[in-house]
Structure 1
Amino acid sequence: MAMNMPSGGSSGEPDVMVDINTTPLIDVMLVLLIMLIITIPIQMHSVNMNLPVGNPPPPAMQPQVVQLNIDFDGTITWNGAPVNGAEDLGKHMADVAAQPDQPEIHLLPNRLAPYRAVAQVLAAAEREGATKIGLVGNE
């Protein structure tokens, strides 16, 4: 059987440790972290608002609605009457934009309608100043 002998002489003293003891350092850091967590105030991420209670009253009068249809071949109808070209469409949009309380324009394009026709209607509305326009039937 072999015997383990210390390498540094025959005295039975253990070797000197040259590493730093980090246990007290970790303890102090944990205490500081807990103190920091306790002293930070709780932050509220909510915004207090005074919201109205109940239902709003109905509007005094229902808004006027203009039904604007675009067929599969690009034919545009204004409340059922055909629109003849971009000039006629611009005239209709200018009439709507000139009113103090603009009517709502409900744009109902066919699923097969060319994008060019829909873009033409939207561009005419923007150019003439009609602001109450919405797409209907694309649910």
Structure 2
Amino acid sequence: MAFGRLERSKGTEPMSDINMTPLIDVMLVLVVIFILTAPLLASSIRLDLPKTDAAKGSSGAPFVTLVLTSAGQLYLNDKPLVADALLAQLTETAAAAPDTEVQLRADASVPYGRVVEVMGLAQKAGLNRIGFVADAPAPAQR
């Protein structure tokens, strides 16, 4: 070492690896968001269901969901169908499992006659267990 000279040490090398910690944190937050929002997306068909104070039944038997919108569109398990295709699908379901329950969700503005027609199609297919799905009324404000 010479007098009056400062020895320089070599600085740290730049890091060439990707820091995975922020990426993992973001991915975990996204997983939590998807877990919380998935149940909210269960039924994407907007209906104004009738309100009732009736007790909620618990069904252990297999079921299919039949939706009738205010525009008259039919959905079987969230898939749009026409009346002829609905009869064929329900007949296949009845052949596979005759004790299958039909959970009918009809908009409050659908005429009663149309609901009866859909019920008739289900009974014609061989499915006699029909349940009506309704919303609970809002609690009374005091």
* TM-score, normalisation: structure 2: 0.48
* TM-score, normalisation: structure 1: 0.49
Higher-Rg member (1/2): 1
Higher RCO structure (Cα 8 Å, ≥6 apart): 2
